[in-house]
Amino acid sequence: MLPKNRLILTPGPTMIEEEVRLALARPATNPNLDPAFAAFYREVCSKIQQVWHTASDVLVLSGEGILGLEAAVASVVEPGDKVLCVTNGVFGEGFADFVRRYGGEPVLVGGDYSRPVDPAAVEAALRQNPGIKAATVVHCDTPAGLLNPVAELGPIFHRCGVISIVDAVASAPGDPVFADEWKLDIVLGGSQKCLSAPPGLTLLSVSPAAWAAMERRTSPIPGFYVNLLEWKKQWLGEGVFPYTPPESDIYGLGAALDAVLAEGPAFSERHRRIAAATRAAVRQAGLEVYPVEGAEANTVTAVVIPDGADDAALRRHLWEKYGVMIAGSWGRLAGRVWRIGHMGANARVERVLTCLLALDQACRDLGIPVRASLAAGFLAAL
């Protein structure tokens, strides 16, 4: 039988705080017709603008964060368009797949999951491939725990007249995003990562340049649900939702955003401090952090699995005996790293400490060699 007090220390979905759970239980209305809900939706979008530091239009769509990635590509990319794709992670490669699905021609940069993309390599690729319309990049590619230098890439794309599409689902605001200062056109987020709301919502901002690129298309955007111009026409233009919004989930998102804004800059600093202490504990214990030092995100720590250790067995034992869930990875990193998510509600000293205490014991139980206590190292590094 599982322990009563379970901890979900995965890199999203995260634990959900009580104020968010209570907001989900607000009385329901008809969100298509109730002007009070329309006003609430506008307030939520305004709060996202504050969190992402942008004056661009913001939307909340009904669908997990992947909806935003596909909708951005579907709305911007036409058949034959060249798109630069930063592919040093699972989700970076996924962007290239979306480009192909919608008839675009991806130009790939990167490929080493352990290192952030080199801005000079991106700029060189843009020079060598004239006519690139858009660029995709993942800020935090969670399967590797990798953070890309979007602050440097955004101005490069802007200077070259390229529409930037940035996946900030697993970064903002644990790793802060300054969308306007960094010249970003489309920024994508999800409800279930740093915001610690339930999964099911896509957050996105769209710059005037991105809207203009969509409106200049010579072929119609395929489909309806991923067509961002429908939102521009109906919601931004007429004040009518293109389809029924998930009212309760948006109430929960509003409460989650309130908590982030109330904490202010300390929110990102809390993530930075806990991430640094977690990585210090991993290294002190004789384990290896993935990716290279200096490329790690504030929101997730990826730990290279020691030789001889069974990925699935450790995670199953940790969950079934100690009630703590961590994650493995995907793609080429499947079976190679464990991932501890310290984002949003999970980025708390007591929660990460509980996770590391359980991980210490689970390693002892399974005979996995660890040089020193992860929990003690974490406390010492704070």
pLDDT digits (tens, 9 = 90+) for 201-211: 999 999 999 99
Single-letter code of the amino acid located at 335: G
Q: Considering the entire predicted model, what is its pTM?
A: 0.97
Give Rg (Cα) of the chain. Answer: 21
> E strands within 104-195?
105-109, 132-138, 140-141, 146-147, 163-167, 186-190
Domains along the sequence of the chain with CATH: 7-14+265-381 (3.90.1150.10), 18-262 (3.40.640.10)
Mean per-residue pLDDT for 276-299?
Answer: 97
CA distance 381 to 303: 17
Mean per-residue pLDDT for 265-287?
Answer: 98
pLDDT tens digits, residue range 309-342? 999 999 999 999 999 999 999 999 999 999 999 9
Confidence of residue 112 (pLDDT cuts 50, 70, 90): very high
Mean pLDDT estimate for the chain: 97
Per cent of the chain over pLDDT 70 is 99
**Beta strands at 7-8 and 324-325: parallel, antiparallel or unpaired:** parallel
* Per-residue confidence (pLDDT) for residue 1, from 0 to 100: 43
Examine the pLDDT at 84 and tell me if it is beyond 80: yes
* Per-residue confidence (pLDDT) for residue 368, from 0 to 100: 96
Examine the pLDDT at 134 and tell me if it is beyond 90: yes
**Residues contacting residue 159 through CB under 8 Å, at least 6 positions apart:** none
- 207 against 3, higher pLDDT: 207
Mean per-residue pLDDT for 236-249?
Answer: 97
* Per-residue confidence (pLDDT) for residue 128, from 0 to 100: 97
Examine the pLDDT at 3 and tell me if it is beyond 90: no
Examine the pLDDT at 5 and tell me if it is beyond 80: no
CA distance 7 to 355: 8
Examine the pLDDT at 2 and tell me if it is beyond 50: no
Mean per-residue pLDDT for 131-148?
Answer: 98
Mean per-residue pLDDT for 127-152?
Answer: 97
Mean per-residue pLDDT for 106-119?
Answer: 96
pLDDT tens digits, residue range 346-364? 999 999 999 999 999 999 9
Contact assessment for residue 175 and residue 299, using Cβ atoms and an 8 Å cutoff: yes
Tokens of 292: 């290279």
Examine the pLDDT at 4 and tell me if it is beyond 70: no
